[in-house]
Amino acid sequence: MSEFTKTKQQQKILQKLKLYTGILFAVLACIILLSTPKAIPQQPVVLNMLITAPDAQPWKQGIIKDFEAKNPGIRINLVEGPNSTNLLEDLYTSAFILGDSPYDLVNMDVIWTSKFAAAGWLLDLSDRLTKEELAAFSPKDVEAGRYEGKLYRIPVRSDVGVLYYREDLLKGAGFQAPETFADLLKISKSLKEQGKVNWGYIWQGRQYEGLAAMFVEVLQGFGGFWVKPDTLEVGLDKPETLKAIAFLKDTIQEGISPPGVTTYIEEDTRRIFQSGQTAFLRSWPYVWPLANAEDSPLKGKIAIIPMVATPGNSGGACLGGWGLGIAKSSKHPQEAWKAIQFFTNEEVQRQFILKAGFVPSRRSLFTDSQIVSKYPHYPQLLKIANQAVLRPPIAQYAQASDILQRYLSAALTNRMTPESAMQAAANETKLLLNNSKSRSVLSVSAGPQRG
């Protein structure tokens, strides 16, 4: 055999060998694939949930890990959204409008339920909890989860607007905590003049939901109202509303609030307060643990009171808060319910509140010994929570709030006079309520429940 034929034969053998090995590998791969499903661990079910970035921290720090440890087949994927509640609502809304929403758990602000439920985006959870189980939660938080008598949202934590003040500075200057708007302005001015602070009072003035939440408190303090839920009467063009706006404008004109206050949301105001630049802050209880953290210059120097009022009126505290619903389009409603049950049980709520300093939804936690020893201001917080005022619980809340935000912002930033802005806001709101024959969520809330 010539060298040439020998190499050719060798090449052929080599090719065949390659072919057989290829086939062998393919067969082996098939066998492995077909025989291993039992060996490969099952992919966990992933529950997606969108949440504002500051709220994500306490979730991530504990309760999600605990849930996943107890439920190895379920993972919670927290999607951190923007800080403002409106932007978060927009993201949920566009996801639902597009159809197959990527979210399973719907983390809802206290004011969203009626809109989301009316649009058919949420599962009805009415028969999941007994009356007794629901009775452990604050009634207003539960009501905020109902639409046309059905329950769509289980409270996870409540919220209530409070007035923070620098106890150290007020005491040092011989002042009592303020009770009226006039007191607030007087103390602010004096502390500013003494050079103790750069600003007196700071609040959320940007055109967004936080502006409406802040405004209902000032409005209540002047004896005014936005929309009466039972009669749908609109109070935006009443003299009390104009007085409330005049107070806010005065804070800017008199240099008590910085001019930039009309662009601030909660986190902007917290940073300024926490850096020691201002004597008073209107915000939510989440500020407390942050302002009292080890590295905070305000540690041990602050106290809370309800929002001030004019003599004869009581200070308003806006009811806020967050709860969980299940997206109708979720492919994992059972797992989502398991997660809601876990996150709303008493022990988990206790841990959650201890970490974040949020307002409890479960009434018993306000006086819980562990919680009170870490947060001695909770009994005071309960008093404020009991006084909480709702933003109007009407199905068209989102539009009503948008109208108020637009015109109030125009008045505060001198783009319109308060009179013409509030006249226009009142007219648009009346039109909205007449056209949509909006009904009070509260008045139709006594719906079917189990138990």
Residue with the two structure tokens 């504990």: 62
Residue 439 CB, nearest approach to ligand GLC (Å): 22
Closest CB to ligand GLC among residues 112, 337: 112
Closest CB to ligand GLC among residues 157, 238: 157
Residue 84 CB, nearest approach to ligand GLC (Å): 6
Residue 196 CB, nearest approach to ligand GLC (Å): 29
Q: Kindly state the tokens that stand for 435.
A: 């056209």
Residue with the two structure tokens 């993972």: 75
Q: Kindly state the tokens that stand for 438.
A: 């909006």
The closest residue (CB) to ligand GLC is 320
State the sign of the Cα–Cα–Cα–Cα dihedral 19, 22, 28, 31.
negative
Closest CB to ligand GLC among residues 111, 162: 111
Angle formed at CA 313 by CA 310 and CA 315, multiple of 5 degrees: 85
Closest CB to ligand GLC among residues 108, 232: 108
Residue 215 CB, nearest approach to ligand GLC (Å): 11
Closest CB to ligand GLC among residues 74, 304: 304
Q: Kindly state the tokens that stand for 282.
A: 């209107």
Residue 175 CB, nearest approach to ligand GLC (Å): 29
DSSP 153-199: -EEEEEEE-EEEEEHHHHHHTTPPPP-SHHHHHHHHHHHHHTTS-SE
Could you give the 3-state DSSP secondary structure of residue 431? helix
Closest CB to ligand GLC among residues 74, 287: 287
Residue 87 CB, nearest approach to ligand GLC (Å): 10
Closest CB to ligand GLC among residues 111, 432: 111
Closest CB to ligand GLC among residues 109, 217: 109
DSSP 73-139: TEEEEEEEE-SSHHHHHHHHHHHHHTSS-S-SEEEEETTTHHHHHHTT-B---TTTSBHHHHHTB-H
Note the Cα 384 to chain centre separation in Å. 18
Angstrom distance (rounded) from CA 440 to CA 426: 18
State the sign of the Cα–Cα–Cα–Cα dihedral 272, 276, 278, 281.
positive
Residue 411 CB, nearest approach to ligand GLC (Å): 19
Length of the chain as a residue count: 451
Residue 322 CB, nearest approach to ligand GLC (Å): 6
Residue 388's nearest CA partner among 307, 267, 442 is 307
Which positions touch ligand GLC (CB under 6 A)? 85, 109-111, 159, 209-210, 213, 266, 284, 320-322
